[in-house]
Amino acid sequence: MIHDPIPREIQPALPLFDEEALDISDYLRAEQDADDIHTDETRRQGIAALTLGAIGVVYGDIGTSPIYAFREAIRATGAASPGAPEVLGILSLLIWTLILIVTVKYVFFLLRADNRGEGGILALYTLVRLAAGKRSVPVLLLALAGAALFAGDAAITPAISVLSAVEGLGLILPSLSTYVLPITLGIMVALFMVQRRGTASVAALFGPICVVWFLALAGLGLWHIADEPSVLAAFNPVWGLGFLLDHTGVAFVVLGAVFLAVTGGEALYADLGHFGRKPIMLAWFGLVLPALVLNYLGQGAMVLAHPHLAENSFFAMAPEALLPVLVVLATAATVIASQAVITGAFSMARGAIQLGFLPRLRIVHTAEGQSGQIYIGAINWLLLAGVLWLVLSFGSSSALASAYGIAVTGTMVLTSILGVLYLIRSGRLKAPLAVLLAAPVLGVELVFLASNAVKIGDGGYVPVVVAAVVGMLMWAWWRGTQAVKARVAKLAIRVGSFVRMMRNSSVNVIPGTAFFLTGDPEVVPSALLHNIKHNRVLHEQTVLLTVETLRVPYATAEERATVEPLGGCFVRLILRFGFMETPNVSRAMAHARAAGLKFDVMASTFFLGRRRAVATGTGVELVMDKVYVALSRMAADPTDFYHLPRDRVVELGERVAI
C-alpha cells in the first residue's frame, strides 16, 4: 500500500463530509462505492451491450487508421505508380502488424494481466510493484515514461484524426479545401468545451455510429477487392519480408507509416476495466479486425487496378455520390476516437494523482453512479491548447503523421517491458522463457520505434518534447514528496508514546469529535501538535485519520474502513481507496460508522494541516525542488478535492525545507 498518496507534508487533513450534509443518515444513504458500482454495472449489462460499447470507445482510435495509414505507407515508398511489390508488401506488413501486436500481444496476453479487472500501463506498473514486494526506481521510471508518452499521444490523436477526416471536403469540392483548418479547429474547440458536461448523454451513440463505420469499412473493402482479387495474396508474410529486403532504402520510413495502423492498440488494455476482457475480444474478432483487414485489402486492390488513386486511397473508394456521406461518417468516427483519448487522459491523470506522480487536481464526476465518467479541467485545457497548436503548426494530416508514431511505439515498448517484468517477478515464467516469448513482439516494436525515430526532424520531436516535460514534472513531484517525507519523519512523534504522554496531561478536554490527518498511521499529525501547543485543548474524541491508496484500482467494501481505539480519547481511522478512485470520504464514512466509529456530525471539527515545502538545494537538485514547490502551489483546493464542509474547517500550517 502507498501511505498518503498526496504527500502529507504539503496536504491538508482529509475532509469527511459533503458541504450539504447535516446528519449521518445522509451518509448511510450514500451511493455504493466505486468498486461496487463497477461490479454491479458489469453484472447488469449484457455481453452484447458491453461489446457494443467497446466498439465505440475501445476501438475508436484504431478504427480511423484506414483513413491515412495505407496512404502514408504508399507515399513513403516514393513510387510514382505503385505496383504489386509495393502494394502487396505494404498490405502484408499492415495485416501481420495487426495480428502480431494487437491480437497476440494485447488481446491474447495483456488482457489477462489485469489488476482487479483494471488495465493500462499504471495498472501494469502496480502489478510489477506488488509482485516485486518493494519499490524499484528503474521500474518506476518505466511507468513514468509510459504515462508521459501517453500525454503526447493524447494531444496528437485528436489533431490527426479529425484533420484527416475533414480533408475529405477537398475531394467533394476543391474550393472547400480552404475551410479544412477552420472547420477542424471549430470541431476541436467544441469537443473540448463539452467535456465539462460529461459524455454520458452522447456515449450511447458511440457504439452504433462506430458499428456503422466498421460495416462501411468492410463493405467498401469487399467491393474493391473484386477489382483485383489477387490482392488476397497479401496474407502471405513473404510479401512483407520481400518488400523490406527489396526496398532497403525506404523500408524504415515505410515501417513508420505502417505502424499508424495500430495506433490506439493501447486502448484495448487501458479500457479493460470499463468493459471486461470478453466484450473487448468479441468486438475485435467479430467486427473490428475483419473490417480493418477488408478495408486495407480493398484499398490495395483499388490502387493495383487504378494506381493514380493512391494519393487519397481511402476516400477514393466511395462512389462520387456517396462521398459526402463517407466524409461525414469519417468525421463522426474521428470525433469519437478523439473523445476516447481525452477520456483516457483523464483516467490516466487520476491514476497518476492517486499513485503520487502528480499533485492533486480537481476531479469532477460528470455522471452519477459512474466512477469512470470524470472531468479534470487542467488536463482538458492543456490538451486543447496542444491540439490547436498542432493543427495550426502542421496544417495537414500527412505532416502530423510524421509526429504521431513515436509516442505510440514508445508506450507500446514500455508496456511490453513491464509485461515481461511482471511475468518474471510474479513467478509465472522463468526469466529466459519470458524473454524468449516476448522477443518477437518486442523486437518488432523496437524496429517500429527505430523507424519512427528517423522522423524526429520532421515533427517527431513533438511527442518526445511533450513526454520529456511531463515525465520531468512527474519525476520532480515524486522525488520532492519523498524528500519532504524523509525530512518530516526525522521530527515525527510516534502515536504510541504520544498517547501515553497525554494520559497525565493538563490540557483541557472539550466536547465533540476532532478529525486530524496523518499520512503515516504511526505518526502524530502536526495539526494536532499545533492545536495542543497553541490552544491547550483536546476533544473528547480525537480521531487520527489516515487515507491509504491501495495498489489496486478499487477498494472493496471490506477494505474501505478500519477503526482502532488507541486508549483515552484517541481513535485511529484508516480509509482506503484504489488508485483509480477519487477519494470520496463522504461516502466512506458510512463504512467507518459500520466499523464502529461513533460521532455526532454537528459536534465535529476538521483540522487540516498544511505544509509548504521550501527549496534549499543546489544545482540540478535546486531546479527540481523549485519545480516541486511550484507544482505544490498549483494543487487543487483540498476542500474541493475531498468535499470538505468549508464552515467546519480549521487550518494550521508550517514550512518545511527540502
Q: What is the extent of the structural domain holding 595?
A: 2-30+487-657
**Mean pLDDT lowest for which of 110-119, 312-321, 431-440?**
110-119
Distance CA 262, CA 267 (A): 10
In a domain, 268, yes or no: yes
pLDDT (0 to 100) of residue 27: 27
Neighbour tally for 592: CB within 10 Å: 23
In a domain, 626, yes or no: yes
Q: What is the mean pLDDT of the chain?
A: 81
For residues 257 and 117, which has the higher predicted lDDT (pLDDT)?
Answer: 257
pLDDT (0 to 100) of residue 64: 87
pLDDT (0 to 100) of residue 70: 93
Q: The C-alpha cell of 34 is what?
A: 466505486
| Residue where a domain terminates, one of 415, 443, 459 | 459
* Same domain, yes or no: 19 and 80: no
Q: Which of 218-222, 341-345, 423-427, 557-561 has the highest mean pLDDT?
A: 218-222
Tell me how far the alpha carbon of residue 317 is from its chain's centroid.
35
* Same domain, yes or no: 310 and 399: yes
* Same domain, yes or no: 500 and 522: yes
What angle do helix axes 323-354 and 47-57 make, rounded to 10 degrees?
A: 100
* Same domain, yes or no: 133 and 237: yes
Q: Look up the pTM and report it.
A: 0.74
pLDDT (0 to 100) of residue 579: 67
Q: Which of 6-10, 239-243, 652-656 has the highest mean pLDDT?
A: 239-243
Contacts of 654 (CB under 8 A, 6+ apart): 526, 530, 609, 610, 611, 612
pLDDT band for 368, please (50, 70, 90 cuts).
Answer: low
Instruction: Report yes or no: 111 and 123 within 8 Å, Cβ to Cβ.
Output: no
pLDDT digits (tens, 9 = 90+) for 450-496: 888 887 877 778 888 888 888 889 888 888 888 877 777 777 788 88
pLDDT of 220 higher than 90: yes
What number of residues does the chain have? 658
The kind and range of the H/E element at 513 are strand 508-517
Partnered with residue 515 across adjacent β-strands are 543, 606
pLDDT of 116 higher than 90: no
Instruction: Choose among 57, 110, 154: nearest CA to 414.
Output: 110
pLDDT band for 202, please (50, 70, 90 cuts).
Answer: low
* Same domain, yes or no: 646 and 509: yes
pLDDT band for 3, please (50, 70, 90 cuts).
Answer: very low
pLDDT of 217 higher than 70: yes
* Same domain, yes or no: 26 and 55: no
Distance CA 90, CA 216 (A): 22
Instruction: Report the share of the chain in percent with pLDDT over 90.
Output: 19
Partnered with residue 537 across adjacent β-strands are 508
Average pLDDT, integer, range 523-546: 86
The domain that holds 216 is classified in CATH as 1.20.1740.10
Name the H helices within 259-376.
Answer: 266-270, 272-275, 277-283, 289-305, 323-354
Question: Considering its fold, how many domains does the chain have in total?
Answer: 2
pLDDT band for 14, please (50, 70, 90 cuts).
Answer: very low
Q: Which of 12-16, 191-195, 314-318, 358-362 has the highest mean pLDDT?
A: 314-318
Look at the block and give the residue holding cell 493495383: 304
In a domain, 599, yes or no: yes
DSSP conformational letter for 366: -
Distance CA 332, CA 166 (A): 10
Average pLDDT, integer, range 13-19: 30
pLDDT (0 to 100) of residue 203: 63
pLDDT of 349 higher than 50: yes
User: What one-letter code names the amino acid at 367?
Assistant: A
| Residue where a domain terminates, one of 459, 479, 514 | 459
* Same domain, yes or no: 243 and 336: yes
CA 442, 448, 452 angle in degrees (round to 5)? 140
Name the H helices within 585-618.
Answer: 585-594
* Same domain, yes or no: 170 and 314: yes
Contacts of 621 (CB under 8 A, 6+ apart): none
In a domain, 482, yes or no: no
* Same domain, yes or no: 328 and 227: yes
Distance CA 425, CA 418 (A): 10
| Residue where a domain terminates, one of 459, 475, 502 | 459
Q: Which of 36-40, 423-427, 586-590 has the highest mean pLDDT?
A: 423-427
Average pLDDT, integer, range 633-641: 73
In a domain, 475, yes or no: no
Radius of gyration of the chain (CA): 27
For residues 368 and 190, which has the higher predicted lDDT (pLDDT)?
Answer: 190
pLDDT band for 88, please (50, 70, 90 cuts).
Answer: very high
Q: The C-alpha cell of 52 is what?
A: 457494443
For residues 543 and 347, which has the higher predicted lDDT (pLDDT)?
Answer: 543
* Same domain, yes or no: 627 and 543: yes
* Same domain, yes or no: 125 and 274: yes
What angle do helix axes 461-489 and 137-166 make, rounded to 10 degrees?
A: 150
Distance CA 284, CA 125 (A): 25
SS3 46: coil
In a domain, 266, yes or no: yes
pLDDT (0 to 100) of residue 37: 39
* Same domain, yes or no: 105 and 242: yes
pLDDT of 117 higher than 80: no
